[in-house]
Amino acid sequence: MSRQYIEDVAYWAKAYNLACSGINESVIEEPDKNILAYTIRFDSGFKVTALSSRPANLRSKKGRLRIDEAAFHDDLEELIKAALAINMWGGKVAIWSTHNGKDNYFNKLIEKCKTGELNYSYHRYDLDTAIADGLYRRICLVSGQQWTINREFKWIAQLRKDYGIDAREELDCIPFEAKGAGSVFKREWFEVVDRVPAGGRMVRFWDLAASIKSSAFCTAGVKMKKVDGIIYILDAIAERVSPAEADKLIEMTAIQDTKNTRVQWELEGGSAGKRDEVHLRALLKNFSASAVKPMGDKITRAKPLASELMRGNVKLLRGDWNEGYIDALYAFDGTSKTRVNDLTDASSGAFHSLSVAIIQPDFD
């Protein structure tokens, strides 16, 4: 993101015919790792530097700070705390972003602005406002197309379809808030098919919960396959089992899935997660297996799958598990629900693995 930001600065510097240097890279040395910073220097004496979002990088800085995509930073609260010192020296801090859920710290700042608790200048710019100000006309001008009102309407409709479940946040500046069953996944989105094309990549993703208490969460595993851009959900398991039974379930399922299916699971935080990773790697030593660190909360992780379901790019292979699986995802709303969250988390993990990773076997 830092690199992209500074490239945008370079683009506009050229557009305005401003005299400046090229993009210079420098290294900020940190105890645990080195961080790249990107800088453009202008002949006027000013400069623009793009840093990482690490709060410590802002300490002892002066000038005007822009926090881009604020809702997606790992620790926005600490970042802003470090940034506010800039105001003491006459600097300014601008915080902008699309939304990332109602409970995100970015949205909490907005609510405080609305109530007057924070003396910030608050601005909202949604798609309708941008269209009214000529956004699509400008796109047509730059791309060499002829503007018509019908083309504009079609473009807006396609844009909203492309964004899927994220359209309200990304285009309308409305934070996502789940409210009960059907708020994330709709029943009508699930298309069941009788056959799945050959080839493609497969993964079985596990959400682990080794307990036998009646109220405990389940050990859930969802198997998916990606062929020609379409993701097929092949199987879903959710069992309330003991730790020993969970090991047996995972191992026997891997044998049934064969070595063509990669096995992955969510990496829990702390030493317990590392211990589980070592244990499961040993258990699955004959298979391609790895732990994956989760990114974002449960709803954030589920939304990409929901969007692709809505677009018709995810299908279920017909089986006696279909009804229970659809019921579980339909009931998902981010609150604590046994079996519902387990199957949803496993589904989100499998979808993410197939969507962003090139899965390469690591066995002989």
Name the CATH code of domain 187-356 (choices 3.20.20.120, 3.30.420.280, 3.90.950.10, 3.40.50.620). 3.30.420.280
Share of the chain above pLDDT 70, in %: 90
**CATH 3.30.420.280 domain extents, the chain:** 187-356
Instruction: Judge contact between 164 and 306, C-beta under 8 A.
Output: yes
Q: Please give the pLDDT value at position 33.
A: 67
Q: Please give the pLDDT value at position 250.
A: 94
Residue type at 4?
A: Q
CB-based burial label for 116 (10 Å; 0-12, 13-18, 19+): exposed
Residue whose C-alpha is closest to residue 132's, from 162, 152, 146: 152
Q: Please give the pLDDT value at position 117.
A: 93
In tens, the pLDDT along 289-347 reads 998 888 888 998 999 999 999 999 999 999 999 999 999 999 999 888 889 999 999 99
pLDDT at 354 over 90: yes
Residue whose token pair is 């490239």:
7
User: What average pLDDT does the segment 102-116 reach?
Assistant: 92
Residue whose C-alpha is closest to residue 345's, from 238, 235, 201, 211: 238
Residue 275 pLDDT grade (very low, low, confident, very high; cuts 50, 70, 90): confident
Q: Mean pLDDT across the chain, nearest whole number?
A: 87
CA dihedral over 73, 78, 80, 83, signed as positive or negative: negative
Question: pTM of the entire structure?
Answer: 0.73
Structure-block tokens of residue 174: 């409305």
User: What average pLDDT does the segment 72-76 reach?
Assistant: 85
Residue 361 pLDDT grade (very low, low, confident, very high; cuts 50, 70, 90): very low
In tens, the pLDDT along 216-259 reads 678 999 999 999 999 999 999 999 888 888 899 999 999 999 99
Residue 28 pLDDT grade (very low, low, confident, very high; cuts 50, 70, 90): low
pLDDT at 56 over 80: no
- Using alpha carbons only, what angle is made at residue 54 by residues 33 and 299, rounded to the nearest 5 degrees? 110
pLDDT at 100 over 50: yes
The side-by-side arrangement of strands in the sheet containing 47-50 is 24-29, 34-41, 47-50
Residue type at 206?
A: W
* Of 355 and 146, the one with more pLDDT: 146
